[in-house]
Amino acid sequence: MAYTAEISRTNPSCFLFLIDQSGSMDDPSGSAESQRKKADGVADAINRLLQNLVIKCAKSEGVRDYYYAGVIGYGSNVGPAFAGALAGKELASISEIAENPARVEERTKKVDDGAGGILDQTVKFPIWFDAVARGGTPMCEALRRAETILSSWVSEHADCFPPIVINITDGESTDGDPSSAAEALRRTASSDGETLLFNVHLSSHGAAPIEFPESETGLPDKYAELLFRMSSLLPAYMQTAARQEGYSVSDGSRGFVFNADMVSVIRFLDIGTRPSNLR
């Protein structure tokens, strides 16, 4: 059965993030409450994903290398997009990523105080990736670059849990139809299954967020429909984890979200017992 390989330090898996850095990312996002640029939303999304991946792998003694991860930006050029000490690296171990954010900012978040109230809590927010918005949207080239990186990864980790690619974009590829490049990337496989390609569509369109849909019906534009078709089906174990978190998913649900983040996917990853009261 596919997608059942154990993720461990001796059999790590791989995460690759593809980040749209095109000029159109300078436009405001579609979120009703915000006039923030999409590029800032993307930077926050990728930093939050990396932060959650690091925290997931953190244990008392340090960070366990269950994953290797990389960030590929595409805009005026296509290439590794880590800032700071990791600049230029295509993939780094998760412990290396944990130890090398470009900087650590402090932010405020609302938390449950356990007695029915809400508290403001200052939290550390590490930054590995800064907002960039320049040039076109060479999504096909980015997908091909990802295929090259992951072909090499799976040849060295033949039995790993298949790599997961999260592509964050506003949807408008400028170097052609990305469908066939996406299909080739998905076909990059370990013995445990094909690469999972998930897409996050951040749009200036003010439509309501959509998470893990099972059909194109109701998607707001042709770019969303294309990204939906490019996205992998959620494997059975992710469907189970998603249902436990209250998502309505089926065998047809795909790893696609519109104007929403994908931090939930990090929670769906299985590296051991995850208590139901840890949310």
Chain residues binding another protein by CB under 8 A are 6, 8-10, 51, 54-56, 58-63, 98-99, 101, 104, 112-114, 121, 123-124, 126, 240-241, 244, 270-278
Residue 26 or 270 having the CB closest to another protein? 270
- Give the shortest CB-100-to-another protein separation in angstroms: 11
- Give the shortest CB-168-to-another protein separation in angstroms: 22
Residue 187 or 243 having the CB closest to another protein? 243
Cα angle 270, 274, 279; round to 5: 110
Residue 32 or 278 having the CB closest to another protein? 278
Residue 64 or 201 having the CB closest to another protein? 64
Contact predicate 118/112, CB 8 Å: yes
Residue 15: how many CB atoms within 10 A of its CB?
Answer: 23
Q: Which of 77, 125, 118, 83 is nearest to 102 (CA)?
A: 83
Residue 14 or 53 having the CB closest to another protein? 53
- Give the shortest CB-194-to-another protein separation in angstroms: 22
Task: Report residue 199 as tokens.
Answer: 């897409």
- Give the shortest CB-200-to-another protein separation in angstroms: 22
- Give the shortest CB-11-to-another protein separation in angstroms: 8
Task: Report residue 233 as tokens.
Answer: 């089906």
Chain position carrying tokens 């650590």: 104
Residue 66: how many CB atoms within 10 A of its CB?
Answer: 22
Chain position carrying tokens 């998502």: 247
